[in-house]
Amino acid sequence: MNLAIDIGNTAVKWATFEGKALVNNSEFVAGVQVPKPELVDKVLVCASGEVPEELAAYPRLTSQTALPIRIDYKTPATLGPDRIAAACGAWALHRGEDCLVIDAGTCITVDFLDHEGVYHGGAIMPGLGMNLQALHTFTAKLPLISLEGVEKAPVLGRTTEESILAGTLGATMLALAGYVALYRQKCPALRVLLTGGDADRLTAAGATGWEVQPHLTLIGLNEVMG
């Protein structure tokens, strides 16, 4: 049994796998115990955020780890392990296909993996919450808007709150759709995978036809462990 742990900027998630099958998963919160290393065969951590003390000794994914994909990136040492793991997850699920991986977390990353298993890089942009926080922090009067309960953003904002949502959720969705369109000009059969904490919110905002994979990073870690 393999244990995969994803340490993000806002949450720590883990899953156990038997072969390719996800057996159990949860968030690392009070009262939820991560399986002990001695109870599993392999452990691998994707650490994008601050590592809890109790997980500090676990082996971590880096660009130097033996991977099922090839990294073609100018600065592999600076490549986030979350981007590597998500690309490996795309390869595990859709080997032999051109894939665009959109990870909508604290930051939003867009990464391209070709049908030969070569990771080429992509883009990093502020996440939804970061955009909302920036509008509030760097202006004198704009309020801090919560996305709690918000699904579809208005196209035409008729209040300040609606206008902020239109410019954050709506504009982010349009930007991502633009990226997909650009990649599909070269790869018509491109498969788009969406993951991260805001994946469902982007889907509700109009990300139709994109494959939602909430456990993509964990699947990728399992693929690396083999």
> Catalytic positions, please?
82
Predicted TM-score (pTM) above 0.85: yes
Cβ-contact 134, 126 below 8 angstroms: yes
Q: In the predicted model, is pLDDT for residue 32 greater than 60?
A: no
What single-letter DSSP state applies at residue 132? H
Residue 30 has pLDDT above 70, yes or no: no
CB of 20 closer than 8 Å to CB of 1: no
User: Using an 8 Å Cβ cutoff, are 225 and 85 in contact?
Assistant: no
For the chain, what are the domain ranges?
2-127+170-225
Mean residue pLDDT of the chain comes to 91
Higher-scoring residue by pLDDT: 203, 42: 42
CATH of domain 2-127+170-225: 3.30.420.40
Residue 86: the pLDDT is 98
Report pLDDT digits (tens) over 148-202. Answer: 877 777 788 899 999 998 899 888 988 999 999 999 999 999 999 999 988 888 8
Bridge partners of 15?
4, 25
Q: What are the E-state strand segments in the chain?
A: 2-7, 12-18, 21-27, 42-47, 70-71, 99-104, 107-113, 118-126, 191-195, 211-212
